């Protein structure tokens, strides 16, 4: 007997908003997604979602829920996080609030972090994201080969352990960030080892290097050798002349790697003239680069040396979208020297995106929802995440009836599902429905807290 989940009266704003839908999943896979002629009436045995206590159906019986017109989105996908650094702010400060100080302070502190501490941070931040509705994460990982092979690989090991432990609940991709100021042979070989251990692809921030182009070439060579994707921090700078993305795009075209290369940040696009930016965006589109905007961190970090008017630093969201670039929005850092705020909630990040990019029209709000779901899934190479027959039943139900209500209210009440199983029901932090997650969450919060430790 398959395990059956039926949900009626679900709003699917990424599909057709004139109807409500009936959804059925068997053994964690959608088997039918049907528009309803009328709102389904209440019947005995069908539990209104806001009164459902999270109990599974009895064996052999379907679990039937009434979404009462609430919005269901595919499981959110966060294409750019730094799980290993999250919640490190009590240990690593940043007085100036600049990117440079954050990079330097974190790099000096890195050797002192034990694998256990890194593991707890990765666990807490990943679960934090899951609790908000995210079921796919791409995280960059600091990779301080300068401090020795062991320091670099300890972060990768910690991340691999969490990735495996959480595999039933969230897909995690790992991109070690190769150092771009002294990319030694040893660093490249250590990264190759990390990839053999199970890391997903090659990361880095070549715009930090004084000679970025040869370093980008070496990162591409490593990715070719290891047959893996590339995801680079690109041009996180207010300097309009910082344009490493041009070289990344040219190499992507040469290698024929459309769909395999992602660039994050692209802040200098916001600092240059419309003409220069237009040309560069054309090249990004031609190369088929996936792109990620990180508006929370960039609003915080960029423009630090400006006197008024102060630039906002967030990339040209609308122009990139208009050019046909697959642009995701993502969390970046959480409560660390790069960004003191955030909680891994892509809806919050979507709202910040809407503010930063002036995207508040009805059409814009729906585009922002795609930047939290379909676009990052494409960037991450994860097809088939939509609420469609044949796909895994990964989805989030929100206590909101429309995209307008979602962005206005940013509802805390959500029901998060992975493969047809409810991971977290509405309510506060004690509402985990999977005991194993509840225990891990409590342990991680015990270990990693906002309290400053000695
Ligand atoms: Zn980043």
Cα of 149 from ligand 1 centre, angstroms = 22
Q: Where are the alpha helices (DSSP H) in 384-434?
A: 403-409
Cα of 349 from ligand 1 centre, angstroms = 14
Indicate whether 306 and 165 sit together in one domain. Answer: yes
Closest CA to 356 of 327, 397, 398: 327
Let me know if residue 12 belongs to a domain.
yes
Let me know if residue 328 belongs to a domain.
yes
Indicate whether 309 and 416 sit together in one domain. Answer: no
* Total domains, the chain: 2
CB 330 within 8 A of CB 80: yes
Let me know if residue 445 belongs to a domain.
no
Indicate whether 412 and 287 sit together in one domain. Answer: no
Indicate whether 82 and 30 sit together in one domain. Answer: no
Cα of 206 from ligand 1 centre, angstroms = 12
Within 10 angstroms of residue 156's Cβ, the number of other Cβ atoms is: 25
Give pLDDT tens digits along the chain (454 positions). Answer: 889 999 999 999 999 999 999 999 999 999 999 999 999 998 888 999 988 888 888 888 899 999 999 999 999 999 999 999 999 999 999 999 999 999 999 999 999 999 999 999 999 999 999 999 999 999 999 999 989 999 999 999 999 999 999 999 999 999 999 987 778 999 999 999 999 999 999 999 999 999 999 999 999 999 999 999 999 999 999 999 999 999 999 999 999 999 999 999 999 999 999 999 999 999 999 999 999 999 999 999 999 999 999 999 999 999 999 999 999 999 999 999 999 999 999 999 999 999 999 999 999 999 999 999 999 999 999 989 999 999 999 999 999 999 999 999 999 999 999 999 999 988 655 578 888 998 898 888 888 877 655 4
* CATH number of the domain within which 26 lies: 2.30.40.10
On the question of a cis peptide bond just before residue 95, with omega within 30 degrees of 0, the verdict is no
Q: Which domain holds residue 424?
A: 4-74+391-440
Indicate whether 34 and 96 sit together in one domain. Answer: no
Indicate whether 303 and 264 sit together in one domain. Answer: yes
Give dist(CA 344, CA 178) in Å, integer: 24
Let me know if residue 397 belongs to a domain.
yes
| CA gyration radius, the chain | 22
Let me know if residue 402 belongs to a domain.
yes
Cα of 185 from ligand 1 centre, angstroms = 24
Let me know if residue 48 belongs to a domain.
yes
37: Cα separation from own chain's centroid: 36
Output 432-435 pairs: Cβ under 8 A, ≥24 positions apart. 432/131, 433/54, 434/169
Cα of 61 from ligand 1 centre, angstroms = 45
Indicate whether 286 and 297 sit together in one domain. Answer: yes
Cα of 294 from ligand 1 centre, angstroms = 8
Let me know if residue 14 belongs to a domain.
yes
Last residue of a domain, one of 379, 404, 421: 379
Indicate whether 49 and 183 sit together in one domain. Answer: no
Let me know if residue 16 belongs to a domain.
yes
Last residue of a domain, one of 346, 379, 412: 379
Indicate whether 106 and 166 sit together in one domain. Answer: yes
């Amino acid at each position: 007997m398959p395990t059956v989940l039926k949900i009626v009266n679900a709003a699917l704003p990424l599909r057709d908003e004139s109807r409500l839908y009936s959804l059925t999943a068997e053994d964690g896979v959608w088997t039918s997604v049907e528009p309803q002629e009328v709102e389904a009436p209440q019947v005995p045995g069908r539990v209104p979602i806001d009164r459902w206590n999270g109990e599974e159906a009895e064996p052999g019986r379907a679990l039937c829920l009434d979404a009462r017109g609430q919005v269901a989105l595919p499981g959110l996908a966060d294409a750019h996080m730094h799980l290993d650094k999250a919640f490190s702010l009590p240990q690593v400060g940043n007085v100036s609030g600049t990117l440079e100080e954050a990079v330097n302070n974190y790099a000096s502190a890195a050797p002192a972090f034990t694998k256990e501490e890194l593991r707890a941070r990765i666990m807490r931040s990943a679960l934090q994201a899951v609790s908000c509705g995210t079921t796919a994460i791409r995280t960059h990982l600091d990779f301080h080969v300068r401090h020795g092979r062991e320091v670099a690989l300890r972060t990768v090991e910690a991340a691999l352990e969490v990735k495996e432990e959480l595999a039933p609940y969230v897909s995690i991709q790992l991109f070690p960030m190769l150092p771009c100021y002294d990319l030694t042979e040893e660093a490249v070989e250590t990264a190759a080892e990390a990839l053999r251990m199970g890391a997903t692809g090659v990361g880095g921030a070549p715009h930090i290097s004084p000679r970025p182009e040869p370093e980008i070439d070496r990162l591409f060579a490593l990715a070719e050798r290891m047959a893996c994707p590339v995801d680079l921090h690109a041009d996180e700078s207010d300097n309009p002349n910082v344009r490493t993305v041009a070289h990344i795009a040219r190499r992507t075209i040469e290698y024929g790697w459309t769909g395999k290369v992602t660039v994050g940040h692209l802040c200098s696009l916001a600092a240059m003239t419309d003409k220069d930016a237009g040309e560069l965006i054309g090249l990004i589109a031609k190369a088929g680069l996936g792109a990620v905007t990180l508006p929370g961190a960039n609003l915080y970090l960029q423009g630090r040396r400006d006197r008024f008017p102060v630039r906002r630093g967030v990339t040209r969201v609308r122009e990139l979208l208009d050019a046909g670039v697959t642009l995701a929005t993502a969390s970046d850092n959480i409560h660390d020297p790069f960004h003191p705020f955030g909680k891994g909630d892509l809806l919050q990040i979507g709202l910040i995106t809407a503010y930063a990019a002036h995207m508040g029209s009805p059409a814009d709000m729906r585009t922002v929802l795609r930047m939290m779901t379909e676009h990052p899934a494409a960037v991450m190479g994860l097809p088939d995440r939509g609420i469609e027959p044949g796909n895994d039943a990964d989805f989030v139900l929100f206590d909101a009836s429309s995209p307008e209500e979602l962005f206005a209210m940013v509802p805390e009440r959500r029901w998060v599902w992975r493969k047809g199983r409810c991971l977290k029901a509405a309510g506060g932090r004690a509402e985990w429905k999977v005991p194993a997650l509840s225990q891990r969450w409590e342990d991680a919060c015990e270990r990693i807290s906002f309290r400053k430790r000695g």
